[in-house]
Structure formats: C-alpha cells, structure tokens
Amino acid sequence: MQGKAKFTAKDLTVMTHMKREFVLYQVEQNELDRLVAGYTSLHLSFFGITIGAAVTILVAWPTSSLSPPRECLFLAVLAATMLMALYFGLMSKKDHALARTTAEKSRGQSTPVS
C-alpha cells in the first residue's frame, strides 16, 4: 500500500522576490583623491606605536645596567617589537594599496556628469 506524500514539491519550494534600494552619492574626483591621501588604518597606528617602543628600547638599552638574563629578555622584547613593527608596516601598506585600488575602481566605474 502506497501512502499519499505528505508534501509536494510546490510546498517545499518557496521563492521570495525582494526589492533592493540603491543610494547614489555624487563624489568629485578630488574628493576620492583626498580620501586615499588621508587614509589611515589601525595597522598604521600600531606601526607607529611599535616603532616608538623599539626606539625607546634601543635608547634605554645602552644606559641600563642589567644582569645577563635580564639583558637577554630586553633583547627579546626588542626583537619582538621590531617584528611587530615590520608586520604592522606591511599590513598598513597593504591597506593603503587596497584603498587606492578601491578609489581607482570607483573612478573607473563612474561616468562624468555634465
């Protein structure tokens, strides 16, 4: 005995059409250039902080009289801050390049308004 199917394909498939809204803003070319030129990222801030910490450690190291284990720790912290500075510097450069390509993409997709 074959029972009647509980659901049909029509019951299981639901399609919903949703409307989209687009908000367009008029942007001048020099405004895009200013956005990219003044672009700052969180990575750039951390780059400045870690470079400042590394310089501080480098200046304080010759004047400090530490025992050898402490001096080794001092150098390890210096190496860590230099590595972090390198990482944050590279990431901020990548962020700036991404902002540039986004501005160029926006410029390329835009049509001049007469």
CB 24 within 8 A of CB 72: no
- What is the model's pLDDT at position 64? 76
Q: Lowest-confidence range among 1-5, 101-105, 106-110?
A: 1-5
Write the DSSP string, the chain.
--PPPS--HHHH----------------HHHHHHHHHT---HHHHHHHHHHHHHHHHHHHHHH----HHHHHHHHHHHHHHHHHHHHHHHHHHHHHHHHHHHHHHHHHH-----
How far is the C-alpha of 88 from the C-alpha of 43, rounded, in Å? Answer: 5
CB 92 within 8 A of CB 39: no
Q: What is the pLDDT of residues 9-50, one digit of tens each?
A: 666 666 677 788 877 777 777 777 777 776 678 888 999 999
Residue 84 has pLDDT above 90, yes or no: yes
